[in-house]
Amino acid sequence: MHLSVFVAALCGITSVAALQSPHRRAPVKPKRALPVQHEAKNAHQKRQSSYLTSKSAKFAVNGSAIPEVDFDIGESYAGTLSISSNATDTNALWFWFFPSENADAGDEIVIWLNGGPGCSSLDGLLQENGPFLWQSGTYSPIKNSYAWTNLTNMVWVDQPIGTGFSPAAPGAPPKIKNEKDVAEDFMGFWKNFMETFDLTGRKVYITGESYAGQYIPYIAYYMLETNNTDYYNVSGIQINDPSINYDDTLIYAPAVTHLNAYSNIFGLNQTFMTSINERAEKCGYFQFMDYALSFPPPTKIPTAPNSSAPGCDVWDDIIAAAVYVNPCFNIYHLIDYCPYLWDQLGFPSLGWGPNDYFNRTDVQAAIHAPATDYTICGDETLGLIDPGDESIPSSLFAIAPVIEKTNNVIIGHGWLDFLLLANGTLISIQNMTWNGLQGFQTSPYADGDNFFVPYHPGLAEVLYEIDYQPIPPTPAENVAGAGLLGTTHTERGLTFVTVNHAGHEIPQYVPGAAYRQLEFLLGRIPSLTVRGDFTTQSGNYTGTTPPSR
């Protein structure tokens, strides 16, 4: 659809494009027809959905009535459901459920959770993997060509209670003190959700990022403990840039190694580089890294050096130095530079506003959200924040049993994330014992384990626009990097996949990579090394080779 608009605009403009370019002379090239995708004739004919029942009707969202969105986002359901069997319980979770038209999705349901603690999963929906996106620095919402709803039935849930649009009784959030509390509330909600939409018996997958790296393994663990496959048949989880260990391991120990690997991007002065390296050496970080990142691991990995020891708070000092030279330095994405891009959510591009989309009364009404003074990350009263999560990190408890029961766990990590660091995650993996052995037996960064992301016609559009229209009338929308984009490694049911170019939020920065990972989680492709098309691709192009210019 976008394509036809683009082609139409193009026809009128190519002849004058050269004259209008303030940048450079447009190359004189013959006009070339872009491959046209033919949609199935009845693709958009409305059908009666099997999800629309007397139980679900009150949650139905009018997909043509989402403020600022000038297209139909499709069938969806939103609202709140109690965390208990008491339907009028004030403590409830708000969800937005999108059934998929993908024929392979029939026996699946996939949950997406953002982290925090206390961050709304609408961050994921609006800026990462939802059917429509309102990205940092852009005028208006667009259709997401890499929407996870293309592949399967998705539900974004605000949790724990008091997070995002999820209501909580006064004094209830402080009582959420550990991951068992989190899981119990979620499971209460989940039973109600599965019943409301007649989803019992489905395979359940749980996905998310950041602090959801703590939530998800624990929720999966407690779900699996019930043996109740009607509601809780967890068939796999994916956690990206996850909180799975203490900060000393995830952040501080690998910080200077990370700085050294990306020194050209940080661009810090030599005096500082020399001194921070000396401090890292003195604190024992380098020795710890060398020991922890050997394959197979020698023995249980000791606790990481204490970052509170004098001079060992290296991560904080790197950030301070980085801000001096790049005031818009963004720990979520190392290659951000000034200015901050405006952002409806104020996150993860660090520019706030000027608007807060989900705080609008009309938006809240359209998606059956309780009237809420909405911020993307809020509720400081949550017990997980103050006094803090009583549960030990998930890599020291919940992840291994979930791997053993599902043999389908993916841990993803963006290399340009400087909040949680990929090598800290790998150390945590090397310290876990699952399916009979400790850690990976061979390095996940070895040659040959390339993560391949299929090419997509969006890239041809971009090249075409650059070649023929120095001032594109509309930016290309189907834009996502492709090719060999990182490393992937699987042993005994656990996959560790790293993504170049991705910051803290993989689906936001490298949507094609995230989409591919979901295909793998759902078992639609056998491995992330496969060089082939997306399972949903159609049209006159191939996913295996770059589109020609």
Ligand X SMILES: *[C@@H]1O[C@H](CO)[C@@H](O)[C@H](O)[C@H]1NC(C)=O
Give the footprint of ligand X on this chain (CB under 6 A). 35, 62, 64-65, 86, 88-90, 145-146, 150, 201, 203, 226-227, 229, 233, 235, 245, 249, 254, 257-258, 261, 269, 271-272, 293, 300-301, 303-304, 306, 308-309, 321, 324, 356, 359, 373, 375, 396, 423, 427-428, 431, 445, 515, 534, 536-537, 540
In the complex, residue closest to ligand X by CB: 235
Query: What radius of gyration do the chain's Cα atoms show?
Result: 24
Write down the least CB distance from residue 381 to ligand X, Å: 16
Cα separation values, 46 from 65, 302, 312, Å: 16, 59, 61
Report, in this order, helix, strand and coil percent for the chain, each rounded to 5: 35, 15, 50
Of the residues 145, 210, 243, 395, only one is catalytic, namely 210
Q: What is the DSSP string of 429-468?
A: HHT-EETTEES-SS-TTSTT-EEEE---HHHHHHHHHHHH
Which residue number, 18 or 350, has a Cβ lying nearer to ligand X? 350
Q: Which of 204, 189, 81 is nearest to 153 (CA)?
A: 204
Which residue number, 351 or 470, has a Cβ lying nearer to ligand X? 351
Write down the least CB distance from residue 19 to ligand X, Å: 29
Q: What is the DSSP string of 1-12?
A: -HHHHHHHHHHH
Of the residues 185, 336, 389, 417, only one is catalytic, namely 417
Q: Is 417 considered catalytic here?
A: yes
The set of residues, in sequence order, having a beta carbon less than 8 Å from that of 382 and lying 6+ positions away, is 116, 117, 118, 160, 162, 163, 173, 174, 176
The answer to whether the CB of 358 falls within 8 A of the CB of 368 is no
The set of residues, in sequence order, having a beta carbon less than 8 Å from that of 52 and lying 6+ positions away, is 60, 75
Cα separation values, 115 from 222, 376, 433, Å: 18, 11, 25
Cα separation values, 503 from 289, 335, 444, Å: 22, 9, 19
Write down the least CB distance from residue 178 to ligand X, Å: 19
For 258, the enclosing helix (H) or strand (E) is: helix 253-261
Q: Helix or strand or coil: residue 320?
A: helix
Write down the least CB distance from residue 25 to ligand X, Å: 26
Which residue number, 21 or 62, has a Cβ lying nearer to ligand X? 62
Q: Is 504 considered catalytic here?
A: yes
Which residue number, 225 or 390, has a Cβ lying nearer to ligand X? 225
Helices 314-325, 253-261: axis angle to 10 degrees equals 30
Which residue number, 249 or 490, has a Cβ lying nearer to ligand X? 249
Write down the least CB distance from residue 356 to ligand X, Å: 4
Which residue number, 182 or 453, has a Cβ lying nearer to ligand X? 453
Instruction: Cite the active site residues.
Output: 210, 417, 504
